[in-house]
Structure 1
Amino acid sequence: MRSCRSCLLLAAVLAVPLALPIASAAPPAPDTAASATVDPEAIGALTRMGKALRALPQFSMAATTRTEYVLDDGQKLALAGTVDYKVLGPDRFFVEIRSDHQHRQLFYDGHTLTIFSPTQKYYATVENLDRSSQALLSDSATRLGVEFPLADLFLWGTPGFPTQGITSALFVGSERIDGEPTRHYAFRQPGVDWQVWISDKNQLPRQLLITSHSDPALPSYQATLNWDTQRAVAASDLVFRPDGATRIAFVPVALAGDDADGKGAR
């Protein structure tokens, strides 16, 4: 039974929630709001952004986020947080997720994924993955029960993010994000509306706003991204050091749920 408790503790302590897909800061102009067409220029901007992301050999990215949660009575709460990525090559990264309610770190070296809770001092590992970062993040939610914030940064510009599923795409206008000129686009896919502000300077996404249609309350997620593509990412920054933390067994969240029902304790 002790191992099952460890599994459930892992699910509760180390589970990493995915940033929802995103919502609208301001309604588009009336003439564009009525349009449900796919503007080729908007798709082209998305393609250029994907190419810019895939061309980065390494980067650091710091994002400020705001996530909406819906209570049982339908009331929405908006909670602020931060997401920091350090990425080196196609298969090594570190991500840290912070808010007043959680603190998580994830390390991936192309072979092993380590999930660490610095507050509780517990960590778990998933070994023998042997995949690129893009391949890992494309199905980590369904395969491992681990959802990464801003995972689309690794999928844009790859077959993992086909544009054929976009049912509406439009250019909203030119805007400044923290003084930086950007072009604002809005997209719709089944179950989600999302917007992206793409930097005029480097074609990288500067802000995201995603609204999920899976809940009638339409919860949203917003992230403002700050990029550092010039400073070298040190390999040592991507190495997990236990430093007295306790290792616990990793099980996918779905299997941990089976244990909670008593199915996995036999």
Structure 2
Amino acid sequence: MRWNDFLYFRKEERRGILLLLLLIVCTLIINILLSNKKSSSVIIARTDSLQREFEDFRRSLQTTGGEEYPYNNHQYKKSRDVRHPGLLSDSGKLYANAGKRTYFTPAYHSTVKLAAGETISLNETDTAIWKKVPGIGSAYAARIVKYRRLLGGFYSKKQLQEVYGIDEELYAKILPFVVQDDNFSRLNVNELPFDSLLRHPYIDYKQAKVIIDLRRRKGRVESIEELGLLDEFTAEDLARLKPYLVF
């Protein structure tokens, strides 16, 4: 028997083999078509889902009625004005485009200023109260309170001009709203240690040292006139210090 006898098929067998191959090919084609259809349906489903989320987002932006929206740690309110969409302005306003063009404006809490005739105490320690004075904002209020603490209190309204940034024009503006008082601390020249004397803005290192030396030599300082005999103190220094010193 030759080898090609094994590859010989009768007519009926050849028909069966061809039919089997045809069935296999059809099966493969059907599987490919079903696979493509399933993938397309998944893509369409995902696309529909994203589209619905986007539409929900757009509808939320179209909501009106003065609702508040948190943004960048501030509260923003919708306004009816029409602005360019999708922009954040220099003033902090957020603009959005969603059907109607709307924008958000920040809701700031402004400090109510004093009216003419209203006043505060010169030695007021609350920065919120100082901010009520026309011309005084957060920075100036903080500087005034800090300098007052270092001095132990103001004895004269003119000392406000020593606060950094308060020039003659601003001083003249705030002067009518401030009432002078005697609520300030005195320095006991014969009892305070070196560090406590040096902490006062009107006493420098050499002046504090000479006071301690004078106390060590004499036991105590008798008067401000005695300090005037020292080279470390000028007439201007003594004039500023006089209200604060006790002997």
TM over 0.5, shorter chain: no
Which of the pair is proportionally richer in strand?
1
TM-score (norm 1): 0.19
Tell me which structure has the larger Cα radius of gyration. Answer: 2
TM-score (norm 2): 0.20
The structure whose RCO (Cα within 8 Å, separation 6+) is larger is: 1
Which of the pair is proportionally richer in helix?
2
